[in-house]
């Protein structure tokens, strides 16, 4: 499946994001009773955020991820963890609402969306750290996928009451410079995930426009 990625700019593209959230968060996972439940929590950052949406060969939206740069409004995870120490001398972005339709999961579209978010953040925000608020694994720790990339938990697991019936959550941070460094080590070269996200970091950071649309082919 070839997938095209676009930053949601038009009303129609933003409506695609809302439909995806309804299908996944309301219909599939039951995290919200209605997508409007996020209006006073997550969505208050929308004036500063960007949604990157994945479209299939037929132009159907199949996934999305939200990129929130740090600014005067702060970040969603400020509600959970003190970021004052991490902010000093750094540029932070937070990724959120990474989701794909149930029928296209296990095709690595979620990974591709996350890579698009990294590219967008590098080009437009020159970020030094990426943050995320992740659901824990069965051992109540950070999932192996994120640990392999280099995310480090910033606090103990907590119950995120913004979601209904969800697992415990963890806010974690990834130092981009460290990830790029580890990518070039013998051990890092064995990591498919590090290579996927940071193997060509210097080239995509400098190439293209700030948020250029792109096409990829997840397998």
Question: Residue 202 sits in a domain of what CATH number?
Answer: 3.40.630.30
Q: What is the pLDDT of residues 28-70, one digit of tens each?
A: 777 777 777 677 677 888 899 999 999 999 999 999 999 999 9
Q: Would residue 216 count as lying in a domain?
A: no
Q: Which residues contact 46 (CB under 8 A, 6 or more apart)?
A: none
Q: What is the pLDDT of residues 164-198, one digit of tens each?
A: 777 888 999 999 999 999 999 999 999 999 999 99
CA distance 187 to 198: 14
What percent helix, strand, coil does the chain show, rounded to 5? 40, 20, 40
Tokens of 36: 């409007």
Q: What is the pLDDT of residues 68-119, one digit of tens each?
A: 999 989 999 999 999 999 999 999 999 999 999 999 988 899 999 999 999 9
Determine the structural domain holding residue 195 and report its residue range: 3-208
| Residues 3-14, mean pLDDT to the nearest whole number | 95
Tokens of 163: 């979601």
If DSSP codes are grouped into helix, strand and coil, which group holds residue 7?
strand
pLDDT of residue 217: 45
Tokens of 69: 């740069």
| Residue 158 pLDDT greater than 90, yes or no | no
Quickly list H helices, 74-142: 84-87, 109-125
Q: Would residue 85 count as lying in a domain?
A: yes
- Number of structural domains (the chain) is 1
Q: Would residue 217 count as lying in a domain?
A: no
pLDDT of residue 208: 52
Percent of the chain with pLDDT over 70: 93
Q: What is the pLDDT of residues 103-116, one digit of tens each?
A: 998 889 999 999 99
Q: Would residue 21 count as lying in a domain?
A: yes
Banded model confidence at residue 209, pLDDT cuts 50, 70, 90? very low
Q: Would residue 171 count as lying in a domain?
A: yes
Q: Would residue 98 count as lying in a domain?
A: yes
Q: Would residue 214 count as lying in a domain?
A: no
Q: Would residue 204 count as lying in a domain?
A: yes
């Amino acid at each position: 499946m070839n997938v095209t990625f676009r930053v949601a700019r038009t009303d129609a593209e933003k409506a695609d994001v809302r439909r995806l959230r309804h299908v996944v968060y309301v219909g599939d996972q039951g995290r919200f009773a209605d997508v409007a439940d996020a209006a006073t929590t997550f969505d208050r950052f929308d004036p500063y955020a960007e949604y990157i949406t994945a479209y299939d060969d037929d132009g159907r939206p199949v996934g999305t991820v939200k990129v929130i740069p740090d600014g005067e409004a702060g970040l969603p995870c400020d509600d959970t963890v003190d970021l004052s120490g991490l902010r000093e001398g750094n540029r932070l972005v937070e990724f959120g609402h990474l989701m794909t339709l149930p029928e296209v999961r296990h095709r690595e579209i979620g990974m591709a969306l996350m890579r698009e978010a990294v590219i967008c953040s590098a080009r437009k925000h020159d970020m030094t750290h990426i943050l995320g608020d992740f659901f824990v694994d069965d051992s109540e720790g950070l999932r192996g996928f994120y640990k392999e990339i280099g995310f480090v938990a910033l606090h103990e697991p907590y119950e995120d009451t913004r979601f209904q019936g969800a697992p415990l959550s963890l806010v974690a941070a990834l130092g981009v410079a460290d990830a790029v460094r580890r990518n070039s080590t013998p051990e890092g070269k064995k990591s498919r995930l590090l290579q996927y996200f940071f193997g060509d970091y210097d080239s995509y950071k400098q190439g293209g426009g700030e948020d250029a649309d792109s096409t990829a082919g997840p397998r």
